């Protein structure tokens, strides 16, 4: 810690450490990928994540074998953890895209060092999000019926359904995310290839680098492609997450049928995605000793994004309450009262505290730069966002229009297993990214170093 903890970072604070040079950066980052043995902390993290991934496989097998009945879903609460978690995961992923693509377009300098973490996180979260709706189907084997393909049955998907919009958005988003990641990492893969010592690694990264040799033409194409993709990805992530919101807004369900959901969901994506990136950045800079590359400048900037997200979310929460209370619909009002004081009360209030109240601490510069505190606040946000998704998914269904068919929701052990399992899938994938792909964009940080030098 070289800087004073009491004052705000100066506007011209260095984005990367002063001792980072072009060569040292390449070696430092590539070494993390090329080293023979992974560091102990990596094995510890991977060792904790992998059993959870095994749990993911087990719960998947159990679920597909015995059917959706193993979960706590019921009539009227026909959507439970799976959909809440789908929204949760897709929000985390979307946060990654926002940091990576939106701030690329705004030319925010701090984005360059963190974007790879954001994209790795996004690619780890997207499969978790993608698995949830499939696991949730009554007949998961037939999920492909949502594809618009010319089948012998002559039946096409029903394009009025928000679920179908969602499906199409998700497919596009997953594919685009993979390409986007790949377009960005290509020069770095070539760097790693060049520095690789063993034959296997040379071939492995050589194939992945697609013959990149750093010609001006290649650079030009790569930069243009990347810029165009960013320009597509940034609005796309807004629309993807808004369409997820339409799953709710498009329903004729009490507590769901509201136009506020698309922006509400987007705010949630901003805050939860950034919060995960903060947590992962703290872990990576500590684990890989990249304090010089991932500086406090980055964390400070990310914390401000989290704070912005929190304020936006607070605004959404006010509207969430205003609608049913001001409106004339008895059912909506009763539902909201039940959400606040019924069986969902614990998660309702806890989510408000974790997502809006506690993050206000980030106004204080000290908190923004105190890494353990920042980590805890972000962890709280992740938990709070899960509770938020859970609360409004369940409550609207449970406290519906027909009092005689009001219900409650009890998660089963397999609901929790699905949650823990997807966390395992996420962490396992992320640890593999850490180990086998450059976790900081070498090419982009080099640009920053050049810029700093020229200042």
Partner 1 sequence: MSPLNQRARTYWRSLEELAEKPEFATFVEREAPRFRDIVNAFDRRRFLQLMAASMALGGLSACGPEPNPRQLLPYVDIPENVVLGRNRYYASAITQDGYATGVLVSHIAGRPIKVEGNPDHPASLGGASASMQASILTLYDPQRAQLVAAHGQIATWENFVGALHDRRKRLLARKGDGLRILTGAMTSPSLIAQIASVQKQFPGMRWHQWEPLNRDSEHAAAIMGFGKPVDRAFDLRKAERIFGIGSDLISTAPGNLAYARDFAAARRPAETGGTMSRVYAIESTPTLLGAKADHRLAMRPDEIARSLRYVAGLLGAGPQDWTQQESAHATWLKAAAVDLAAHRGATLVHAGREQPVEVHLLADAINDKLGAIGTTLRLIAPVQADSEPQRQSITELADDMASGKVDTLFILGPNPVYDAPADLDFAAKLRHVPFSVCLSLYDDETAVACTWRIPAAHEYERWGDARAFDGTVTIQQPQARPLYGGHSPYEILAILLGSPITDDYTMVRDYWHQRAQQENRGDFDAFWHGSLRVGVVPKTAEPTISAALQSNLAAKLPPTAAPRANGLLALFRADEGNWDGSCANNAWLLEMPRPFTRLTWDNAALIAPSTAEQLGLSTQDVIEIAVGQTKVNAPVFVLPGQAADCVTLPLGWGHTAGGLGAGVGFNAYRLRPSPSEWATPITYVAKTGDKYRLATTQGQDRILGRDLVQEGTLEQLNDSPQSIVKKSKPESLYPEYQYPDRAWAMAIDLNSCIGCQACVIACQAENNVPIVGKDQVLDGRVMHWLRIDRYYSGPADAPDTTFEPVPCMHCENAPCEVVCPVHATVHDHEGLNLMVYNRCVGTRFCSNNCPYKVRRFNFYPYAFERDRPPNSWNPEVSVRDRGVMEKCTYCIQRIRTTQIDAERENRKIRDGEIVTACQQTCPTQAIIFGDKNDRDSAVVKRKATPIDYVLLDDLNTRPRTSYSAVIRNPNPAIEEKQS
- Is residue 138 a contact point for partner 1 (CB under 8 A)? yes
297 to 336: interface string for partner 1, x by CB under 8 A: ---------------------------------xx--x--
Among residues 10, 18, 211, 403, which is the contact residue for partner 1, using CB under 8 A?
A: 403
- Is residue 1 a contact point for partner 1 (CB under 8 A)? no
- Of residues 245 and 309, the one with the C-beta less far from partner 1: 245
Nearest distance from residue 75's CB to partner 1, in Å? 6
Nearest distance from residue 338's CB to partner 1, in Å? 10
- Is residue 435 a contact point for partner 1 (CB under 8 A)? no
Among residues 200, 402, 454, 455, which is the contact residue for partner 1, using CB under 8 A?
A: 402
Among residues 1, 10, 36, 142, which is the contact residue for partner 1, using CB under 8 A?
A: 142
- Is residue 93 a contact point for partner 1 (CB under 8 A)? no
Among residues 43, 66, 219, 286, which is the contact residue for partner 1, using CB under 8 A?
A: 66
- Of residues 72 and 359, the one with the C-beta less far from partner 1: 72
Of 401, 319, 301, whose CA–CA distance to 356 is shortest? 319
Distances (CA, A) of 53 to 46, 116, 132, 160, 235: 10, 23, 15, 36, 32
Centre a 10 Å sphere on the Cβ of residue 160 and count the other Cβ atoms it contains.
Answer: 8
- Of residues 97 and 400, the one with the C-beta less far from partner 1: 400
Nearest distance from residue 316's CB to partner 1, in Å? 22
Instruction: Answer for the pair 424, 51: CB distance below 8 angstroms, yes or no.
Output: yes
- Is residue 341 a contact point for partner 1 (CB under 8 A)? no
Radius of gyration for the chain, computed over Cα atoms and rounded to the nearest angstrom: 23
Nearest distance from residue 55's CB to partner 1, in Å? 22
Whole-number Å distance between alpha carbons of 46 and 25: 25
Which residues, numbered 251-290, are part of the site for partner 1 (CB under 8 A)?
251-253, 256
Instruction: Find the angle CA(120)-CA(350)-CA(369) to the nearest 5 degrees.
Output: 50
- Is residue 143 a contact point for partner 1 (CB under 8 A)? yes
- Is residue 146 a contact point for partner 1 (CB under 8 A)? yes
Whole-number Å distance between alpha carbons of 183 and 193: 16
Among residues 2, 6, 404, 454, which is the contact residue for partner 1, using CB under 8 A?
A: 404
Among residues 53, 55, 59, 72, which is the contact residue for partner 1, using CB under 8 A?
A: 72
- Of residues 77 and 312, the one with the C-beta less far from partner 1: 77
Whole-number Å distance between alpha carbons of 426 and 428: 6
156 to 195: interface string for partner 1, x by CB under 8 A: xxx-xxxxx--x----------------------------
- Of residues 148 and 346, the one with the C-beta less far from partner 1: 148
Nearest distance from residue 71's CB to partner 1, in Å? 8
Of 151, 110, 95, whose CA–CA distance to 16 is shortest? 110
Among residues 182, 204, 315, 401, which is the contact residue for partner 1, using CB under 8 A?
A: 401
Applying CB under 8 A, the site for partner 1 has a residue count of 51
Nearest distance from residue 325's CB to partner 1, in Å? 15
- Is residue 4 a contact point for partner 1 (CB under 8 A)? no
Interface segment toward partner 1; rule CB under 8 A; list 12-20, 113-121, 221-229, 401-409: 401-409
- Of residues 38 and 137, the one with the C-beta less far from partner 1: 137
Centre a 10 Å sphere on the Cβ of residue 372 and count the other Cβ atoms it contains.
Answer: 8
- Is residue 76 a contact point for partner 1 (CB under 8 A)? yes
Residues at the interface with partner 1 (CB under 8 A): 66-69, 72-79, 133, 136-140, 142-143, 145-146, 155-158, 160-164, 167, 247, 250-253, 256, 330-331, 334, 397, 400-407, 410
């Amino acid at each position: 810690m070289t800087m004073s903890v009491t004052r705000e970072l100066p506007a011209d604070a260095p984005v990367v450490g002063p001792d980072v040079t072009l060569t040292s950066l390449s070696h430092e980052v590539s070494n993390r990928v090329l080293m023979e043995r992974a560091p102990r902390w990596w094995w510890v993290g991977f060792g904790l994540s992998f059993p959870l991934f095994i749990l993911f496989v087990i719960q998947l097998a159990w679920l597909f074998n015995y059917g959706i009945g193993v979960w706590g879903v019921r009539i009227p609460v026909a959507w439970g953890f799976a959909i809440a978690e789908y929204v949760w995961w897709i929000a985390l992923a979307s946060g990654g895209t926002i940091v990576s693509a939106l701030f690329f377009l705004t030319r925010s300098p701090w984005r360059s060092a963190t974007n790879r973490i954001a994209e790795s996180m996004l690619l780890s979260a997207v499969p978790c999000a993608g698995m949830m709706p499939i696991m949730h189907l009554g007949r998961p084997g037939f999920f492909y019926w949502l594809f618009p393909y010319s089948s012998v049955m002559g039946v096409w998907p029903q394009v009025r359904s928000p679920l179908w919009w969602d499906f199409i958005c998700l497919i596009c988003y997953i594919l685009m995310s993979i390409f986007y990641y790949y377009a960005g990492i290509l020069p770095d893969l070539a760097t790693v290839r060049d520095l690789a010592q063993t034959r296997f690694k040379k071939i492995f990264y050589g194939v992945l680098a697609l013959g990149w040799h750093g010609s001006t033409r290649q650079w030009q194409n790569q930069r243009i492609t990347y810029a165009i993709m960013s320009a597509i990805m940034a609005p796309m992530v807004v629309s993807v997450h808004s369409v997820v919101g339409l799953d709710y807004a498009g329903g004729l369900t009490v507590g769901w049928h509201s136009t506020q959901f698309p922006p509400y969901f987007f705010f949630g994506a901003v805050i939860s995605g950034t919060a995960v990136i903060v947590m992962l950045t703290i872990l990576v800079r500590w684990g890989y000793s990249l304090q010089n590359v991932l500086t406090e400048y980055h964390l400070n900037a990310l914390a401000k994004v989290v704070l912005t997200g929190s304020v936006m979310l607070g605004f959404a929460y006010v509207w969430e309450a205003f609608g049913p209370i001001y409106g004339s619909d008895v059912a909506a009002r009763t539902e909201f009262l039940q959400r606040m004081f019924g069986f969902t009360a614990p998660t309702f209030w806890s989510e408000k505290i974790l997502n809006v109240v506690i993050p206000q601490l980030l106004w204080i510069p000290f908190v923004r730069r105190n890494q353990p505190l920042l980590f805890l606040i972000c962890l709280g946000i992740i938990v709070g966002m899960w509770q938020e998704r859970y609360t409004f998914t369940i409550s609207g269904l449970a406290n519906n229009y027909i009092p005689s068919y009001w219900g409650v929701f009890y998660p089963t052990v397999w609901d929790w297993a699905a949650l823990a399992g997807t966390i395992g899938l996420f962490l396992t994938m992320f640890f593999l990214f850490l180990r086998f792909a450059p976790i900081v964009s070498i090419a982009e940080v080099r640009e920053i170093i050049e810029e700093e030098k020229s200042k």
